[in-house]
Structure 1
């Protein structure tokens, strides 16, 4: 389990995270939602130790995040940031293989290659696995980076807007893959999403941030409420039922 206690972070005079207290249950998908600047990406960065907090503590499996050695933490927790840039001339397969570095230290075993093969299949990249990253479309690159995270095979996956640059087909594919990882392999997934309908359809829990604070945190069913969503986003929202799922209509 990932536990966050009294977490605060500010940049200059701007308070980005303000006393965050939350626990993310194991084996579930939790979506982070909220307007731009609410603190979603900063929260992921602090949890993953990419960014140091000003106050508070983050624990992974009851251990302070800063007590882990780098290679041990990388076998527990992986993160996909919004912006990813690789300057090396790499094929898709080579990029995905980087996900195995915490285990192999750049000396891939048969087991590592199997993990890479599985990740490439999961993200439907077989046809382009030998193409170079700089030859790909934005959506193809995003799926390749996602496959690298899947190949890392950690208990915890932190994903910052992984649907960026993806068309509808591949967005659905990504979310179905995440749902399988949670259901079949018990992965704990924390994901920043802007599309509330994707959050509604695939998440177990939704955490809504507003002004750097936790505004709401509950099951998806309870968050998918017109009053709650209007409070989070500040616009009129209506909800309709479709195939036992709640769908938002923003265009009232």
Structure 2
């Protein structure tokens, strides 16, 4: 059960000074301001660590001002700041000063997903030898289970290009352009490193089908429906080699 004083102190940090009066004869506004500033800075620093690409795009000062506004309206639900900021991408989409920066919210979604992939549960990675001896018909009836770290995105605009060009570990010399052009991306973790893989439309459809619980055969039909003549074996092999799957759920036969 939460300590009543700690609960009241947390509310006072949010501006409800009177909540502390049962414990104090008078509330020292100056002392509370020091605590408030410290807490606000800590939350803003946490957001900067969780959304480094957004900060790079807008600059430290712009980001810090936005983060302080966000944190006042969205205090953490718990003590672990690694879990903070889940609402930040949605909030950015409605933030007035970001109105002329439509790529910020989707870039924030990718930053958030990077953190989720980084912290996701560990699991074995399926490799090509794991499929040796599995008949084609039985494989198509099975479900290919994605690794727990996999996060899939399919954008109508070039958000992945902008994110990749400005994320420190993926940066390239290419100059990204915000354009209405579909792009799909997978984020996932291999050997404790978060990887980013651009996806073709067929790869996206197959992986999305697997994510939704379709059998590999059903997911393959989705991919082939977009690209007749698709070399399905080569496509699936490439995704397996990349480390996107954890296991194949075969029937009981």
TM-score (norm 1): 0.26
Say which structure is richer in strand: 1
Say which structure is richer in helix: 2
Computing the radius of gyration from Cα coordinates, the structure with the larger value is 2
